[in-house]
Each structure stands twice: as structure tokens, then as C-alpha cells.
Amino acid sequence: MRKTIVAGNWKMNASKDFVDTLVDGILSGMSGVSSEVILCAPFPYLSQVETLIGGTNLMLGAQNLSAKPKGAFTGEVSADMIKDFGVGHVIVGHSERRSLYGESNDVVAEKTKAAIDAGLTAILCVGESLEEREADKTEAVVAEQLNAVISLVGAGAFDGIVIAYEPVWAIGTGLTASPEQAQSVHAFIRNLLANSNDKVAQKIQIIYGGSMSAENAADLISCPDIDGGLIGGAALKADDFLQICKAG
């Protein structure tokens, strides 16, 4: 039985006051939540969130990391640095990193390896653009994204990874994949992994991201291969986020 995960991706939205209020609101509504809940904060706020969630069930995540372990890489942040602040999960390959910062499948694979090597759980994002979906290339694109990582780390290493299927056309747009559309890609991902390692494929948590909300979360998460959500906009409002956490 796979446990449901709900991860909030705050992106570049925070201030000290905002973080205090948001985390306070989430903590005060956590009773009755059985999902694993991860807060993926921007780097400067990791320490603040680490303190606020200390001694609770909430887990801390980061939104990016360097593929390099240390050294002369101005502006970069390594796996060991985020671990120093109690981070256990790190988002890798978010579509905004791929499209706005040119992260190729190979770079994403390197970053995933850096996370695994450091003992972090990578939340590996994959997903197709609208153009690719309309050209019937969804499975080919997702397979290529996953195969780049499998080639570098091996399917066995997916034991320590969470996959987030995030159709690019659904991120921040208010357009959500239907439960049927999402379930079909989640099942494809699980089958792809099963071809290399069935044990890992059955165990791995595959979460959906793309305009998941308090209204649609339960229908998505009740699909057999959807094990939770990666939440952007709705993770910035404690009540909405908690309703999603309770949908799992």
C-alpha cells in the first residue's frame, strides 16, 4: 500500500511574515491528515521553516539543487547545504526549470543523481507541453524524460525517488488533467518502470501536479496510480492546501 504524498511548491513566493502565517495555518489544521506532507520552500526560508515545523509531522523540501557537490559554482546550492537545514526532499526537473533555465533531460538526470547520492528524495517532475499532447507525443516525451534518469542511476535507484507527472499545460493555468488523462499517464510511467524493475514500480509514489485544487484533488488522488499531488498555487493558502492534504 503506497502512502499518499502532498507536496507544496511555493515557487518564488514568500516573505518571513508570509511563511510564519502560512506554516502556522497549516500546522493548526493538520489533525486528521494521514498523507505525508512536504513543504518545498525557497532556499532563504528553509531555516525558518525547519524551525517552525520542528517536532511535527510536516517535512521540509527544497525546489532545486546543484548537480555539483561543492566548489566554485557561484550562486548554486548543493545537496549537502540543503540537508544541513533538515531538507529530505528536493524537486528536480520542474517544467519551469526545464523551460526557463534550460535544464535538459541530462541535467535533470545529473541533479537527480546528486540528490540520490546525498540521501535526499528527489521529486522528479516529468510532463508534456500542450503541443506535444496534441501531437500525441505525451508518452514518448515522458518516456524520454524518465529514460534519461534511468540510464544514469538505474531503475533500482527509483526506490528513493518520487515521480511527479505534471502536464505543462496544466501548471498554473487552472486547466487540470482529467482523472482519466492523468491516470493513463501514471499507469504508463509505472509500466515503464516495471519493465526494468517491477518491485520498484509497484512501490514508487507517482504524484500529479497541475492546478490541483481543493475541488478536484479527491477525484485525482482516488485513481489507482495517483499517489498524491504536487501543488503550486493552492499550496499558498493554508485552508486550500489542508483540504488537498485531507483528500488523500
Tell me which residues touch ligand PEP (CB under 6 A).
9, 166, 171-172, 209-212, 230-234
- Distance of closest approach, residue 209 Cβ to ligand PEP, in angstroms: 3
Instruction: Give whichever of 84 and 215 is closer to ligand PEP, judged by the CB atom.
Output: 215
Residue of 103, 128, 166, 186 with catalytic role: 166
Residue of 36, 89, 94, 96 with catalytic role: 94
Rg (alpha carbons) of the chain, rounded to whole number: 17
Give the three-state DSSP class for 8. strand
Match 527509483 to its residue by C-alpha cell: 158
- Distance of closest approach, residue 50 Cβ to ligand PEP, in angstroms: 22
12-17 contacts: CB < 8 A, separation 24 or more?
A: 12/42, 13/42, 13/236, 14/41, 14/42, 14/44, 14/45, 16/45, 16/48
Instruction: Give whichever of 155 and 182 is closer to ligand PEP, judged by the CB atom.
Output: 182
- Distance of closest approach, residue 23 Cβ to ligand PEP, in angstroms: 19
- Distance of closest approach, residue 231 Cβ to ligand PEP, in angstroms: 5
> Which residues, in sequence order, are CB contacts of 120 under 8 Å at separation 6+?
65, 79, 82, 83, 87, 88, 89, 90
Instruction: Give whichever of 58 and 230 is closer to ligand PEP, judged by the CB atom.
Output: 230
Instruction: Give whichever of 212 and 245 is closer to ligand PEP, judged by the CB atom.
Output: 212
Per the annotation, the verdict on 186 as an active-site residue is no
- Pairing assessment for the beta strands 161-165 and 5-9 based on DSSP bridges: unpaired
Instruction: Give whichever of 18 and 73 is closer to ligand PEP, judged by the CB atom.
Output: 18
- Distance of closest approach, residue 49 Cβ to ligand PEP, in angstroms: 18
Closest alpha carbon to 229 in 4, 74, 14: 4
| Separation of alpha carbons 203 and 177, rounded Å | 23
Helix spans in the chain (H): 16-28, 46-53, 79-83, 95-100, 105-117, 130-134, 138-153, 179-196, 198-203, 217-221, 238-247
Per the annotation, the verdict on 166 as an active-site residue is yes
Q: Which active-site residues does the annotation give?
A: 94, 166
